[in-house]
Each structure stands twice: as structure tokens, then as C-alpha cells.
Structure 1
Amino acid sequence: MESPAENGSGSRRQQEARWCAVTGGRGFMAKHLVAALLRSGEWRVRVTDLAPAIAVDPVEENGVLGAALRDGRAVYASADVCDVAQLTKAFEGVGVVFHTAAADPNINNFQQHYKVNVEGTKNVIDACVTCKVERLIYTSSCGVVFDGVHGLFDVDESMPYPDKFPDAYAQTKAEAEKLVTKANGTYGLLTCSIRPGSIFGPGDIIIPYLHSYRGMMFIVGDGKNCDDFVYVENVAHAHICAEKTLSTKEGAKISGGQAYFITNMEHTNLWDFLYMLLEELGYKRKFRIRFPLVVIKPITYLIEWIYNKVLHKYGMRQPKMLTSARLKYISLNRTFNCKKAVEQLGYKPIVSLKDGIKITTNSTIAQER
């Protein structure tokens, strides 16, 4: 692994850049965060993830990441959050850690989620303390206050954790967030948690899902529920805002150990949002098929029962969309108030919902050509 020490090359700005590490650095949001950190000119980035070596696509190769890997402003370190020794090696010489690594939310396996999200976060904290990391910014989730029974509308951070969660992902992200909050002030480590809404952008899973149905939209429930979508660049921006706030004495007093909801601050009907994506993708004739919950719930439970009893024995993957937990996410209101992030972190969306949709769909169309 390359040492953070300067090698004498590059501009004065590059030489003064500080080192940070991004766990799960090859994930969807993390890629955008890494690029944003590099574009700022203030950071050298150690990208950490599970793969033994980094593999960049042509767009990345010709972009900011490819250039940074070539001139040493970015390096890759293979590290599993479940291995504290690997993390300690990866965090050597870094001043800030952005912890984005998490288990796949589409696989509802509690043991796996607990190992990665909870024990992995504890390992990250321990490695930060060992390496004398100054600040830890944790990528949490808006789902940490969602019980899957009651809708949420414009709730703020005073909303408590629920007694029960709809799935293993939300439950373990909440447990991990508690660890991060508790770690604030431990051996000089300052911490902060970012709770993004439903993230979308180039490379997300929403567009492939819509493409698979060729413009047909299956509405679950009454179709009146709202969600808070957030463009991926805004989530990356919020992480950087949090780090900058924690880096000041006054900001550390206010934001240390705090959690912040981050959205595009544009409450949107879930199904209208999907329709907008479809229109931008060129599906002008959309078929809307509505499934009442009383109809779809028994089908979902049957599919899950068949999978748990039979299909998983043959190595088949668990269905991603038709799960009881997923139904709760797509049939209830889930909107959040970002006033605290605006006032304390100076957060403001840098890409509007409308522009984010256009960027996302244009990127998809360009890749298909």
C-alpha cells in the first residue's frame, strides 16, 4: 500500500491535501463521494473495499478517479470491515474516515447484516481509535426510525428509534448508528451520522427495475404515499458538509454525535416520481396496474414461504421486490425534515430533483447506445 507521505510530485495543492478513507468505496453512493472528495482538491482518498484490486470502468478511467489513481491522489486498499486488522492497516495516516460499507439491503439475512453493519461498524470505530483518526462520518439510513407499520410525514431527528423494524437492514443500521453516536469524543474521535432518503442517480437499481417492465407500472396500495428521494450527489455533498462542520471547534460541539436526515427537500409522491423517470426514459405510453394490499400481501407471503422452505436450498436468490418488508417501504408515507442539517451543517441540495432525474436517465440512455 502506498504511504500517505508526499512523493514530491504534483501541485502544491495536491501536496497539501489531507488523506481520508472511504469504506465500501466501490459502492453506489461511495463512488460519487470519492469523486466529490477528489474534485474538491482538498483530499487524497484511500478507497477501501472487499475486492483484492480495484477495477475501474471506462468512464472512471477517463475521469477524476482514473487520473487520481495514476498520480497518487487516490489509492486502493483491500479491506473487509469484518477484519479490524485490515481496517487498521487501511486507516494508517488518514485523518478522516467516511464509513459507507454495509450489507446488501435486498437480502434480509439478520446474521449477515449484524456481522457487517453492527460488528463491522464497531471494527471501524476501533480502527479509527487505534490510528488516531480525527473524524468519522457514518452513512446511516432514514430507515432507522421506520417501523413498517406507521407512515412518516416530515419527521425530524427527534423521532425515536422504533421498538421493531421492518427488516434486518434497518434494525442493524440503527444499532450501528448508536455505536457511532456513543463513540463521539472517544479518544479524540468526533463522529456524525448521515441519514439519506431514497437515493437515486446514475448506476442505481431503480432504472434497471423500470426497464425490466418496459414502461408498465405496478402500483401497490392506494398510490397516494409520498417518499423523499435524494440525488446521489447531494448525499455525497452532505457527507462533506458534515466533515467540514466537525473540523471546527464550534461545529464539533454542535454536531458531534448527531444524526441528520438528508433529502432533496422535495416531498414527492412515490409513483409520480417513477412516472417521471419512465417519461425521461422514453416510455410515453405507461400502463398503470394497481394491486390493493389485501391482494398482494398474501402473494408476497407465499413467495417468501416457498423461498425459505424450498428455493434457498438450491442456491436461488431471495426475491428483491416481492417481500413483506419491501411492501411496507413502498406503500407508506416516508418523508423527512432536513431543517437540522440546513442549520447545523450548512447543507443545501446542489442538484434539484428534476435535474437529477434528467442526469440519471440521460446517463442510462447514453450507456445503452
Structure 2
Amino acid sequence: MDPSSVESLEVPDARWCAVTGGRGFVARHLVVALLRSGDWRVRITDLGSVAVLEPTENDGLLGAALRDGRAVYFSADVCQVAQLTQAFEGVDTVFHTASVDHNNNNFQLHYKVNVDGTKNVIHACHICKVKTLIYTSSSAVVFDGVHGLFDVDESTPYPDKFHDAYTETKAQAEKLVMRANGINELHTCCIRPTTIFGPGGRIVPLLASYRGIRIIMGDGRNSDDFVYVENVVHGHLCAEKILRTKEGATKSGGKTYFITNMEPMNMWAFLNMVLEDLGYRSRFRLRIPLYVLKPITWFIEWIYNKILSRYGLRTPEVLTSKTIVYGTLNRTFNCNNAVEQLGYKPIVSLKDGVKMTTEFYKQFGA
């Protein structure tokens, strides 16, 4: 769509921003928050030819904004600079959230989207004289899949060996975004959310599909830093607000920031809280040691990879060795830098986030 075609419908004091991967989980919440603020008009970019809205979106703020011009959908591929350039024309800030499903371990695909795609986003920002670029990264870029992490901050180095294609290419994209800071008056930073949950996410539907059956992997003592999706969105908005000032750009430009709910807790206790809010009573609680789980998982993956993959089947996410190991390690992060430098503070508590998420799925389903 030609940006000039909606000029007459613009809100006079609002600025244009663009959200790549705009129909993804975090991006959907980000787009709504940007529109709700009244400070932004939003270019939503994604691969689909049209923005297919859920009923709740069509009748809500997003649907109204698309109809009156406060939001515009662009079919744009991050692998195509020309498409990005059209979408970013006249844009003040780009929120780059586009990524490949982390469960797909195709390195070439991840590299094409996460690395080459990010290069294209940066190039299009330079062409269009975009002022601010906020990249949605992941806390997993410092995780090697073998060693646990406890209260680590941004000084933690990238691992020598990454545990999958997603994290390796996300880390490479981070480096590109950080190096782009200050070039052609573009200010950048990277947001590293921890384990995200919320309406539209995967955690609750996955748990609901097992109807309350509890299986604890390992010793059950590991903690995680879950973060509600609206807090992730808030972290992005805090970063943009800081980077638009000269002092903030000097202090925070080219940096990375962990974003958490600042409520680390035992992973299994969190999952149990979600299940109870969904109304499931525990059928049984089975604790399986890791030394038993690993060979079983490797065998299942071998069966899928060698035999069933020819029929288009892949190992269920819950039974991959990656998931098994992840489910037994500590993964907690310190986000004091985001608090002190970005002015970040969670706006939704963990308990309230779980409540709102489970109520959503009770009403609308997975």
C-alpha cells in the first residue's frame, strides 16, 4: 500500500512507526499498545498478502485503526529491501520483531531471516532516515543448552557453542543491530525477553493439551524467569522513549537489555499455577530423572528423523532433547540495567498475568 494513500486520515500529532513480523505473538500486543497510546500510527509488516484478523481484533482497537488509517498493513518480506523501504518511508521508529519459529532448527532459514533479514532492516532504516531501531532478541542468546544460568546480567558473554540455530542467528543479528548504532543518525538497542507467556502464546495451550497431567523432568528444583507479554511490550516502549533523547541515546544506544517480570520462581510451580488457574486438578505427579529421560528422548527423535519425517511429521516439541534439557536447568536473569537505564518496571505481576492469560483461553480457546 502507498503510505500517501492514508495521509488524510492521519492523527496530526502522532508519528509513524513500523513493526516487522507484525502478526506475531509479541508484535500483536505491541501494535495494540502503540495504537492505544495515541502517540503512534503503525505500519504493520508481515508476509501475508492481507492482515487476517481474529474476531476480537476486528471488533477492537486494531480493526478500527486499520479502517480509519491509524494503522496500515504492508505485505513485506524482511528478505526484500525494496519492500521494507516502501514500508519504512516516513517512519520515525522501527520495532524489528520478525523471526522464524524457534522450533524449526533449519539453520539456513534462520540465517536468511534473522541475519540477512536484519541486515536488510538496517539498510532500509538508513535509506529512509529512520531515527530509532528496537530489535526483539531473546535471553537465550547467552544460553548454551548445557549449563544453567542464575541471575546473570548483560555482561554474560555469548556461549562458545549455541544450542540451536535460532539462538545462534539471534546473537548474530544482535551484533548487527549494536554495530549499527550511531551510523547515519540511527540509534539502536536490543530487548532480550525471557520466557514469554500471555494471550496468543504457546505455553498455556501446550499445558492445556495435557489435561493436567504432571510430569516433572529432573529434580524439579530449577527456576525460570517468566515474563508476561505486556511487560515485554512495555520494555520496547521504554527503550524507544529513552533512545529518542540525546542523553538516552548516548547512554543506551547500541546496548542489550534483559526484560523479565522480576519474579523468578520454580519452573514447575509456575506451570502448576497455570494448570490450577485453568481448572485442572493434578491427576498424578511423576518425577523422571534426567538420566532416564535422555535416552528415551534421543530414541523418539531418531524415530521421527529417520522414519516419520518422510511423511512430514516432526518430533513433538515436548519430547525433544532440547526441551528436556531446558526443563531441568536454571534460567534466571537480572534486569537491573533495564530498570536503571530504560526506566523499565513490570506493569503486570506474574499472578495477574497468569490470571488474564488463562481467562483468555477459557473464553476463546487455544
Task: Provide the C-alpha distance between the structure 1 equivalents of 2:293 and 2:9, rounded to a whole number of angstroms.
Answer: 61
Q: CA deviation at 1:139?
A: 0.2
Residue of structure 2 aligned with 1:145, choices 139, 142, 153: 142
Structure 2 SS opposite 1:187: helix
Contact persistence 1:2–1:75 (CA under 8 A): no
The equivalent of 2:29 in structure 1 is 32
Alignment partners' CA distance in 2, 1:326 and 1:121: 27
Q: What's the counterpart of residue 321 of structure 1?
A: 318
1:331 to 328, 332, 353: 328
Q: Which moved more, 1:111-120 or 1:343-352?
A: 111-120
Distance 2:181 2:283 in 1: 49
**Code of the aligned partner of 1:41:** G
Cα gap change, 1:330/1:282 in structure 2, threshold over 3 Å: closer, same or farther? same
Matched residue of 1:290: which SS?
A: strand
Name the stretch that deviates more: 203-212 or 51-60: 203-212
Task: Determine if the alignment matches structure 1 residue 113 to structure 2 residue 106.
Answer: no
CA 1:347/1:107 → structure 2, altered by over 3 Å: closer, same or farther? same
Q: Find 2:45's aligned residue among 45, 48, 54.
A: 48
Q: How has the CA–CA distance of structure 1 residues 219 and 4 changed in structure 2, closer, same or farther, with 3 Å as cutoff?
A: farther
- Could you tell me how far apart the structure 2 residues matched to 1:4 and 1:64 are? 22
RMSD of equivalent CA atoms: 1.4
Contact 1:113-1:169 within 8 A present in 2 as well: yes
Give the TM-score taking structure 2 as reference length.
0.97
Task: Tell me which residue corresponds to 2:94.
Answer: 97
Residue-by-residue CA offset, 1:1-29 (whole Å, 9 max, x unaligned): 1425864446xxx2110000000000001
Question: What is the alpha-carbon distance in structure 1 between the residues aligned to residue 2 and residue 234 of structure 2?
Answer: 27
- The correspondence of residues 126-137 of structure 1 with structure 2, limited to 5 A, is 126-137=123-134
Please report the TM-score for the alignment, with normalisation by the length of structure 1.
0.96
Uncovered stretches (5+) of structure 2, i.e. residues with no partner: none
Aligned to 1:272: 269
Contact 1:98 1:137 (C-alpha < 8 Å) held by counterparts:
yes
Aligned length: 366
Q: Letter of the aligned partner of 2:50 in structure 1?
A: A
Q: Which of 158, 163, 168 is the aligned partner of 2:160?
A: 163
Cα pair 1:4 1:19 within 8 Å, conserved: no
1:172-217 deviation line (CA, Å, top 9, x unaligned): 1111101111111111111100000100001111111111111001
CA distance in 1, matches of 2:267, 2:187: 36
User: In the alignment, is residue 238 of structure 1 matched against residue 224 of structure 2?
Assistant: no
Distance verdict in 2 for CA 1:306–1:285, change over 3 Å = closer
Which of 67, 74, 78 lines up with 2:75 in the alignment?
Answer: 78
Contact 1:190–1:252 at 8 Å: present in 2 too? yes
Tell me the amino acid that sits aligned with residue 218 of structure 2.
G
What's the CA shift for 1:338?
A: 0.7
Preserved contact between residue 6 and residue 69 of structure 2 (Cα < 8 Å): no
1:294 to 291, 295, 299: 291
1:320-339 per-position Cα deviation (integer Å, ceiling 9, x unaligned) = 22122222221100000010
Take 1:73 and 1:81, find their aligned partners in 2: how far apart are those partners? Answer: 23
For the 8 Å contact 1:49–1:80, the answer to whether it is kept is yes
What secondary structure does 2:314 align onto?
coil
What is the CA–CA distance in structure 1 between the aligned matches of 2:289 and 2:314, rounded to whole Å? 26
Stretches of 4+ moved more than 4 A in 1?
none
Alignment match, 1:23 = 20
Note the residue ranges of structure 1 that are not aligned, 5 or more in a row.
none
When residues 142 and 269 of structure 1 are mapped into structure 2, their CA distance, relative to the original with a 3 A threshold, is: same
Matched to 2:303, the amino acid is: I
Question: Which residue of 2 is the match for residue 253 of structure 1?
Answer: 250
Inter-CA distance 368–101: structure 2 relative to 1 (3 Å threshold): closer
Q: Does 1:182 align with 2:173?
A: no
Q: Deviations over 1:229-256 (max 9, x none)?
A: 0000000010010000000000000000
Please say if residues 251 and 341 of structure 2, whose CA atoms lie closer than 8 Å, have aligned partners that are also in contact.
Answer: yes
Name the CA shift for 1:169/1:272 in 2 (closer, same or farther; >3 Å).
Answer: same
Residue aligned with 1:194, SS: strand
Matched, 1:309 2:306: yes
**Match for 2:63 among 58, 63, 66?**
66
Letter in 2 for 1:335: T
Residue 195 of structure 2 corresponds to residue 224 of structure 1: no
Verify the 8 A CA contact 2:214 2:282 in the aligned structure 1. no
User: Among residues 327, 334, 342, which one is paired with 1:345 in the alignment?
Assistant: 342
Percent identity over paired residues: 67
How big is the shift at 1:289? 1.5
Instruction: Map 1:1-12; keep pairs closer than 5 Å.
Output: 1-3=1-3, 7-9=7-9
